[in-house]
Amino acid sequence: MANLRTKSSTQTVKKSNVTTGRKPAFRSIYAKAEIEEIFRRFSIQRPEPKGELEHVNPFTLVVAVALSAQATDVGVNKATRALFAAADTPQKMLDLGEERIRDYIKTIGLYRNKAKNVVALSAKLLLDFNGEVPQTREELMTLPGVGRKTANVVLSMAFGQSTLAVDTHILRIANRIRLAPGKTPDEVEQRLMKVIPERYLYHAHHWLILHGRYCCKARKPECERCVIADLCRSPEKTCDIPAPLIELSAKVIGE
């Protein structure tokens, strides 16, 4: 009688995934305790991290974030200081008009299209939301020029909701240190939301951005200044000794 070979559990899982078309569930290479320690250190280094886009109310925040696409926060702030002094509500922005808005933001990339979006989102806020910025992601994303990332930033900074807006810094960091690797911002966002401890979630967005902007830089990460150098699993890592765990001043953060 011929021997019957049983399929291994691995073979069964592989066949099941092929048949159903489902991807295996994501699992971080870091242990829960390691992730907890990573964000504990970030919380000591920057206890109350702040977004660097200047704004005076939820409306000007929406505009500032929409303008920041493919532009630096520093460049946006230089342009919007005068703009927001002239127009800090949807009605004032409409009264200003597209041509004058262009004059204020012409130093920002894609300023012509962005000026159109600012006018259009101001009009929609007045028409559909009584001039108030909505507090749900779905409603925010109905505004011209507002995508998921912008909506998440507004929900977090204006309304105190725990969201993760995956920009270029976070996309890079999540993949580089292998915390929550993914090909798209949405995929990285979903994975980060699963692995970041809930009590650290509110500030995680800013911690990761600031870490990427001032330490784990795009061209050359400064591992000797990194407080998680001993925990980091990046193949690019050049140092295993963590930097001293001290609170950073605003001056140091912005250097």
Closest CA to 192 of 181, 203, 207, 177: 181
Amino acid letter for position 121: L
Amino acid letter for position 220: K
Dist. CA 242–CA 36, nearest whole Å: 16
Task: Please identify which residue in the block is written with the tokens 């460049």.
Answer: 75
Q: Tell me the pLDDT of the chain (255 aa) as tens digits.
A: 444 444 444 454 444 444 455 666 778 899 999 999 999 999 999 998 888 899 999 999 999 999 988 888 899 999 999 999 999 999 999 999 999 999 999 999 889 999 999 999 999 999 999 999 999 999 999 999 899 989 999 999 999 899 988 988 899 999 999 999 999 999 999 999 999 999 999 999 999 999 998 999 999 999 999 999 999 999 999 999 999 999 987 655 444
Q: Active site residue: 88, 103, 167, 251, which one? A: 167
Closest CA to 248 of 222, 221, 214: 214
- pLDDT above 90: percentage of residues in the chain: 73
Closest CA to 68 of 247, 209, 182: 209
- Judging by beta carbons within 10 Å of its beta carbon (0-12, 13-18, 19+), is residue 167 exposed, middle or buried? buried
114 is catalytic: no
Q: Active site residue: 23, 95, 149, 237, which one? A: 149
Dist. CA 201–CA 152, nearest whole Å: 13
Question: How confident is the model over 213-253, as pLDDT tens digits?
Answer: 899 999 999 999 999 999 999 999 999 999 999 998 765 54
For 39, residues 6+ apart whose C-beta sits below 8 A from its C-beta are 196, 197, 200, 204, 207
Amino acid letter for position 153: V
The answer to whether the CB of 141 falls within 8 A of the CB of 62 is no
Neighbours of 20 (CB within 10 A): 8
Question: How confident is the model over 157-175, as pLDDT tens digits?
Answer: 999 899 988 988 899 999 9
73 is catalytic: no
Please measure the distance between the N-terminal and C-terminal CA atoms of the chain and give it in whole angstroms. 76
For 108, residues 6+ apart whose C-beta sits below 8 A from its C-beta are 67, 71, 75, 76, 79, 114
State the DSSP string of 36-53: HHHHHHHHHH-SS----S
